[in-house]
A and B are shown apart, each in its own frame.
Chain A
């Protein structure tokens, strides 16, 4: 019986050692804002986002009617919240802004022909014109 458990102990000792694959949290640091991606909450980025949001949805905001109309539609509301969260509307370059917002629209199942797309485009047009001074300010 002694040899039995000795053998077992040796074998198990070999296995108990830590496994090769590490399951640890990735060493991720939020990046500095660039091209309108405002995830780091840097002063400039946060300020730009805040000013843009105020222009879009604040009391007396220049695009508040468009924003309210969009928010009344569940899909458009979801997409625009997503786009705002990622700072897409702060991007000056239209192509870059569309690229940034496309996943938001996909997520909300907004495609050509849906009313939500018209609402979103209307808000985008407003943000690019009436709120251009505060929203579409960050380089591509």
Chain B
């Protein structure tokens, strides 16, 4: 938080022409409550005049409202974004476009500016799988809407940048633990230290976290009994269960997550090094559109691992010229083990249970040079020239194994190895020709061999006719290069794509922001067009037969999908926000509302986008009594009615998930009498227990959706030692 205030102060000082310095209490309050962002244009600037709708979620807010993951922060605190949870990794959508089971492919997620999405799968996680110890996060910057102009692929829904704490804000040692009753436990530890190294001001922050989810038991309901019509016997859906013919029941074993992560950030002079290491193992408890698996098998799981290094240097070559250099390297791999009763799942009755083992590995390293030319040395006319060059290596395969011995029972399928470069120059020009006008225009070219080069332009204008009032208009484009698994992957259930085009999105938006002291009102409208969305298309019998005849699919292929540029989406809507502080900043509040109309077009049909609500929002209020008294916080979120995620599967009847309201009450503060020790208690309630994600095999007459835990509560303790005087913050 101190960093934020300092940044605002620095910003105010640097804005000579564009921003009047605060000269009264109200102005100061207004200035202190002004969000700043660096992600939208790579320069520190006010969110209100940034070239994209941007918001900043502070660590204070995360702590106050009992937020422990990125998706929770989005759900309860953000404007324009919406989350959707199954028992798996959560999805996040923006402005009415939520792509179910997306695994974060349409958001670019950064940690201190370092992109996490990998080139093989393109995934980014929003829960503990994001791979960053959450206690290290200082604030989260969210850029809503297309952001490829500076960041390239994947930034279609937006860019999320997790900024970690400076050592000054994380001085000393910190240990914390929380326990969610019947569900999960988290432990974390970290430290921050400042020192001199070869005469240069230096600092080191480190942190590690381990998250373990072991529940809760979840009742999915059951599908009607299914009988094998040939032998008259019921099907078996559980590896070690009786052949009852009934799919479903209560999950007791496979609803788990284990997620260790660690991070190191080192700064010395103008150098900065970030190192992240993480793993994310989770169960695959039930069949979804993408995965067919025996029910509640604890041995069916996915594991993702990542190691990332980012080294950067900032050179101020003159008062006008600044050169930022960044070298980075990432290693990411994924392994999924999915068990099936062999007869049904692997077309093999020589073993009882077979296991699909899908493995993928991607590595990439690159160099980004960014030259900033501050022509008038007052930030009013700045040219940014950048080039990002990287090399990517990917490999993937699928094996079919005997579960009991792990010996292969079939040949490896879909093995491929590729290595290709990516070259991306970009340019951005910012210009503030008058105190009331901020202009921004830029474009980026991404060139790789799989596709024709893609250009992602953006133009924005912000007008501040009077202090506190900002009109803004933005046009932007973004794209997503399909992951290699989409273009080159194949397997027992996946046919080769046969060629894909990059997905593209165009967006226009306008907004009005008005400040009244420490209060802010924002209203914006938007319109977006999405083209060439890549989706797994379930092949028809005729399509499968054609591929079998050409030897592309084995005769044993059963349920097969193929990635295709299948659909387009257009949407429009508005969002509105009201937030501020009262009572000398002791009371804070916020309200965000978004309403959209989103249509998916494919094969000549038009439907509401599955799992995407047309209305959603959140509200929050907190009061800090100060001293040893607790801080009370109440946050709520709302997601309107939306179709279930299999809406577009042929023959599937239209089914809607009910509106979902969630409330979370959090109390936190210092433990009296124990210096440095703080607590946090939080309880949450959901108004419905059913999500928008269908579970189980396709069974059109009955729709089962994954459950939502209606009641949950956690308690946490945090101990800070060896650093600055504790501030009496809640845990």
| Chain A, 98-124, CB within 8 A of any chain B CB | 98-109, 111-112, 117
Any B CB within 8 A of the CB of A53? no
A4-B313 contact given A12-B327, A19-B333, A28-B412, CB 8 Å threshold: yes
From A14, A99, A117, B349 is in contact (CB under 8 Å) with: A99
A99 near B541 with CB under 8 A, answer no
Alpha-carbon gap, A95 to B271, bound state (A): 71
Any A CB within 8 A of the CB of B175? no
B393 nearest in chain A by CB position: A19
- Total interface residues on A, CB under 8 Å, equals 45
| Stretch of B282-290, B499-507, B551-559, B667-675 at the chain-chain interface | B551-559
| Chain A, 78-114, CB within 8 A of any chain B CB | 78, 81-82, 85-86, 95-96, 98-109, 111-112
Any B CB within 8 A of the CB of A21? yes
A103 near B545 with CB under 8 A, answer no
Q: Which residues of A lie under 8 Å from residue B409 when comparing CB positions? A: 28, 31
From A4, A8, A23, A102, B396 is in contact (CB under 8 Å) with: A23
A103-B329 contact given A34-B350, A74-B541, CB 8 Å threshold: no
Any A CB within 8 A of the CB of B625? no
Any A CB within 8 A of the CB of B253? no
Q: Mark B428-456, 1 if CB is under 8 A from A, else 0.
A: 00000000000000000000000000000
Alpha-carbon gap, A123 to B555, bound state (A): 19
How many residue pairs link A and B with beta carbons under 8 A? The number is 116
Any A CB within 8 A of the CB of B317? no
Alpha-carbon gap, A96 to B408, bound state (A): 22
Q: Which residues of A lie under 8 Å from residue B228 when comparing CB positions? A: 98, 102
A8 near B410 with CB under 8 A, answer no
Q: Which residues of A lie under 8 Å from residue B271 when comparing CB positions? A: 4, 7
Q: Which residues of B lie under 8 Å from residue A11 when comparing CB positions? A: 273, 309, 311, 327, 329
Any A CB within 8 A of the CB of B608? no
Q: Which residues of B lie under 8 Å from residue A117 when comparing CB positions? A: 229
A108 nearest in chain B by CB position: B541
From A4, A14, A15, A25, B412 is in contact (CB under 8 Å) with: A25
A78 near B273 with CB under 8 A, answer no
A20 near B333 with CB under 8 A, answer yes
- Tell me how far the C-beta of B77 lies from the nearest C-beta in chain A, rounded to whole angstroms: 35
Q: Which residues of B lie under 8 Å from residue A16 when comparing CB positions? A: 329, 365
B308 nearest in chain A by CB position: A15
From B229, B309, B397, A14 is in contact (CB under 8 Å) with: B309
- Tell me how far the C-beta of A127 lies from the nearest C-beta in chain B, rounded to whole angstroms: 14
| Chain A, 48-63, CB within 8 A of any chain B CB | none
Residues of B in contact with A, size category? 35 or more
Alpha-carbon gap, A107 to B544, bound state (A): 10
Any A CB within 8 A of the CB of B360? yes
A86 near B408 with CB under 8 A, answer no
Alpha-carbon gap, A102 to B234, bound state (A): 13
A28 nearest in chain B by CB position: B408
A86-B361 contact given A12-B329, A23-B417, CB 8 Å threshold: no
B360 near A23 with CB under 8 A, answer yes
Alpha-carbon gap, A35 to B348, bound state (A): 11
- Tell me how far the C-beta of B179 lies from the nearest C-beta in chain A, rounded to whole angstroms: 32
Any B CB within 8 A of the CB of A27? yes
B231 near A95 with CB under 8 A, answer yes
A98 near B347 with CB under 8 A, answer no
B335 near A78 with CB under 8 A, answer no
B558 nearest in chain A by CB position: A107
From B231, B307, B309, B399, A12 is in contact (CB under 8 Å) with: B309
Alpha-carbon gap, A72 to B415, bound state (A): 36
- Tell me how far the C-beta of B198 lies from the nearest C-beta in chain A, rounded to whole angstroms: 9
Q: Which residues of A lie under 8 Å from residue B410 when comparing CB positions? A: 28
From A28, A74, A103, A111, B558 is in contact (CB under 8 Å) with: A103
A28-B411 contact given A12-B329, A102-B228, A103-B556, CB 8 Å threshold: yes
Any A CB within 8 A of the CB of B512? no
- Tell me how far the C-beta of A72 lies from the nearest C-beta in chain B, rounded to whole angstroms: 14
A106-B558 contact given A7-B271, A19-B361, A86-B347, CB 8 Å threshold: yes
Alpha-carbon gap, A108 to B396, bound state (A): 29
From B313, B344, B365, B541, A102 is in contact (CB under 8 Å) with: B344
- Tell me how far the C-beta of B398 lies from the nearest C-beta in chain A, rounded to whole angstroms: 10
- Tell me how far the C-beta of A129 lies from the nearest C-beta in chain B, rounded to whole angstroms: 18
Alpha-carbon gap, A20 to B311, bound state (A): 23
A112-B541 contact given A19-B361, A26-B412, CB 8 Å threshold: no
A4 nearest in chain B by CB position: B313
Q: Which residues of B lie under 8 Å from residue A21 when comparing CB positions? A: 305, 333, 335, 359, 361
From A78, A103, A111, B229 is in contact (CB under 8 Å) with: A111
B229 nearest in chain A by CB position: A112
- Tell me how far the C-beta of B224 lies from the nearest C-beta in chain A, rounded to whole angstroms: 14
Alpha-carbon gap, A104 to B544, bound state (A): 13
- Tell me how far the C-beta of B586 lies from the nearest C-beta in chain A, rounded to whole angstroms: 45
| Chain B, 652-687, CB within 8 A of any chain A CB | none
A26-B399 contact given A37-B350, A102-B230, A103-B556, CB 8 Å threshold: yes
Alpha-carbon gap, A112 to B232, bound state (A): 10
Q: Mark B311-340, 1 if CB is under 8 A from A, else 0.
A: 101000000000001010101010100000
B270 nearest in chain A by CB position: A4
Any B CB within 8 A of the CB of A75? yes
Alpha-carbon gap, A86 to B555, bound state (A): 9
Alpha-carbon gap, A11 to B266, bound state (A): 13
A15 near B329 with CB under 8 A, answer yes
Alpha-carbon gap, A96 to B313, bound state (A): 68
Q: Which residues of B lie under 8 Å from residue A78 when comparing CB positions? A: 541, 545
A23-B361 contact given A15-B309, A28-B412, A105-B230, CB 8 Å threshold: yes
Any A CB within 8 A of the CB of B343? yes
Alpha-carbon gap, A94 to B605, bound state (A): 46
Q: Which residues of B lie under 8 Å from residue A81 when comparing CB positions? A: 555
A25 nearest in chain B by CB position: B412
B345 nearest in chain A by CB position: A103
Alpha-carbon gap, A27 to B407, bound state (A): 8
9 A-B pairs closest in CB distance: A112-B229, A23-B395, A28-B408, A26-B408, A21-B333, A15-B329, A103-B347, A25-B412, A107-B558
Since A11-B309, A12-B329, A106-B344 are in contact, a sample of 12 more A-B pairs with Cβ atoms closer than 8 Å, ordered by chain A residue number, is A15-B331, A20-B305, A23-B417, A24-B397, A35-B350, A37-B348, A74-B545, A75-B541, A82-B555, A98-B228, A103-B344, A106-B558
List, sorted by A's number, 25 A–B pairs whose CB atoms are closer than 8 Å. Answer: A4-B271, A7-B273, A12-B327, A12-B365, A15-B365, A19-B331, A20-B305, A21-B333, A21-B361, A23-B395, A23-B415, A26-B411, A28-B412, A31-B350, A34-B350, A37-B350, A74-B541, A82-B556, A85-B555, A86-B555, A98-B230, A98-B231, A108-B541, A109-B541, A111-B229
